[in-house]
Amino acid sequence: MKTVTGLFDDYSDARAAVNKLEAAGIPSSDISIVSNKAGRIDRDSDVGEDAATGAGLGAAVGGAGGLLTGLGLMAIPGVGPVVAAGWLTATAAGAVAGAVAGGAVGGLIGALTDSGVSEDDAHLYAEGVRRGGSLVTAKVDDARASEARAILQSSNWVDPVERRRVYTEQGWTRFDDTLDPYSPEQIAKERERYRRTAV
């Protein structure tokens, strides 16, 4: 099994990627989404509003309508409230709840590295979510990794090499869960920066 991960600036792109992965036959139980709640612009539903907050999200995942029907709300240190569902969410919640001094480097990073994502990439993805993004992760058979990666790329994913370069130019080195989460205003400025550079 391989873990294929994509970062998205807009929740609607991440949602489209999840739908495409499911349509390609990748089971909902093998897909996860973590989206910064402050960065969500998707207003067509209020999913997750009634879910329990904090690291104890548990297994509010999956469902008859696919992964997105199981979205819940949890908090990630340094990121703040996120709307999330899937196997990665349960792993991250457990890592946050069970972390001890000197242990895991935060719930999300620990969950990503435990699933095979490099620590450098895990820090980049966590920072992307902190800055308002959405992360989609799929566990797939080795033979389907290229297909899953192509689906994520076709859904307007963030180029991780380019984004790391931009963050590094701003003085960023690693995700720091002791920093304050980004405010909606800071997230809006981030989005505007990337829209300008994409033109």
Identity at 50, one-letter amino acid code: D
Asked if the model's pLDDT at residue 172 lies above 50, the reply is yes
Strand partners, 8: 134
Residue reference for tokens 């207003």 = 43
- Is residue 156 helix, strand or coil? coil
Q: Which residues contact 183 (CB under 8 A, 6 or more apart)?
A: 38
Alpha carbons within 13 angstroms on the beta-carbon side of residue 125 total 27
Residue reference for tokens 């902190």 = 130
User: Mean pLDDT for the chain?
Assistant: 79
Q: Which residues contact 107 (CB under 8 A, 6 or more apart)?
A: 55, 76, 77, 92, 93, 94, 95, 96, 99
pLDDT at residue number 196:
67
Q: Give the domain range for residue 20.
A: 2-198
What is the number of structural domains in the chain?
A: 1
pLDDT above 90 as % of the chain: 51
Highest mean pLDDT pick, 52-56, 77-81, 129-133, 179-183:
129-133
Q: What burial class does residue 86 get, using C-beta atoms within 10 Å of its C-beta: 0-12 exposed, 13-18 middle, 19+ buried?
A: buried
Instruction: Annotate 184-195 with b (16+ C-beta within 10 A) or e (fewer).
Output: eebbeebbeebe
Tokens coding 186: 């800071």
| Whether 105 contacts 75, CB under 8 Å | no
Neighbours of 147 (CB within 10 A): 15
Identity at 7, one-letter amino acid code: L
pLDDT tens-digit map of 86-136: 877 766 655 444 443 333 345 788 889 988 999 999 999 999 999 999 999
pLDDT tens-digit map of 57-82: 333 333 335 776 667 787 777 888 88
Asked if the model's pLDDT at residue 19 lies above 80, the reply is yes
